[in-house]
Amino acid sequence: MIDSINLSFDEMWDKIIACDEKYDGLFFTAVKTTKIFCRPSCRSRKPKRINVEFYHDIRKVENAGFRACKRCQPKVEHSPHTQLIRTVTSFLINEYKQNLTLQDIANHVGISPFHLERLFKQETDETPRTYLEKIRIDKASNLLINTDRTNLEICYDSGFQSPSNFYKVFRRFKNCSPSEYRNLHR
């Protein structure tokens, strides 16, 4: 069974609007009006927000009377390593505030760090470290737009251990500073 992830409705909504593949299999979008459920990365037309429910388990969404989307095929596993990658991504999403090493992540799933990094890169085209940084930047971006917390508070709330690393990584992914990002999106 897939580990549950700790995302708010707003965060999950943002992921489906962005068609974010990183969250495929970790939650499903069910549309009440059509009775269809999809992956977060589905490219189908987006439903109205009031018609959406989110489920973390495919059996629960099916038991609620929804059927799988024919376009994104959420019931189809794409790789023999899909479950392992879901477990890792779920762990990273839930533990993003922790100071995680590759060894910590590998210990969680019970394989060697080298093997984990190789499989993860093969399946997602990025390393677990990069994936974790993207999660942290997503959290920081959300906090910058939706709260009045200071950049330093957001740095630590997002799991970064130092402000300099936070600013460097934020600029790498968003091409601007956190303050510039906040001013652009408010």
82 and 141 together in one domain: yes
Q: Considering 68, 100, 116, which residue would you say is the last residue of a domain? A: 68
Residues 62 and 82 in one domain: no
Q: What is the CATH number of the domain that holds 147?
A: 1.10.10.60
133 falls within a domain: yes
| pLDDT tens digits, one per residue of 74-123 | 877 656 677 888 899 999 999 999 999 999 999 999 999 999 999 999 88
C-beta separation of 98 from 156 below 8 A: no
Number of other CB atoms surrounding residue 169 within 10 Å: 18
CB burial of residue 16 (10 Å; 0-12, 13-18, 19+): buried
Asked whether residue 93 falls in the same domain as residue 119, the answer is yes
The answer to the question of residue 33 being in a domain is yes
Is there a contact between 41 and 19 (Cβ–Cβ < 8 Å)? yes
Is there a contact between 27 and 40 (Cβ–Cβ < 8 Å)?
Answer: yes
Same domain, 27 and 90: no
The DSSP bridge pattern shows strands 36-38 and 67-68 to be: parallel
Q: Is residue 3 part of a domain?
A: no
In a domain, 124, yes or no: yes
Whether residues 35 and 83 share a domain: the answer is no
In this structure, the answer to whether residues 48 and 113 fall within a common structural domain is no
Same domain, 28 and 105: no
pLDDT digits (tens, 9 = 90+) for 31-47: 999 999 999 989 888 99
Domain CATH for 39: 3.40.10.10
> In terms of domains, do 102 and 178 share one?
yes
Any domain includes 2: no
Tell whether 103 and 36 lie within a shared domain: no
Q: Does 32 map to a domain?
A: yes
Query: Do 113 and 29 belong together in one domain?
Result: no
- Between 132 and 79, the more confident residue is 132
Number of domains in the chain: 2
**Pair 47, 33: CB distance under 8 Å:** yes
Cα separation, 178 vs 52, in Å, equals: 31
Confirm whether 19 is a catalytic residue.
Answer: no
Compute φ and ψ for 185, nearest 5 degrees. -110, 15
Catalytic residue among 19, 72, 155, 176: 72
In a shared domain, residues 52 and 122: no
Domain boundary among 68, 93, 109: 68
Tell me the whole-structure pTM to 2 decimals: 0.69
Tell me: the pLDDT tens digits for 43-63?
888 999 999 999 988 889 999
Residues of the domain holding 58: 9-68
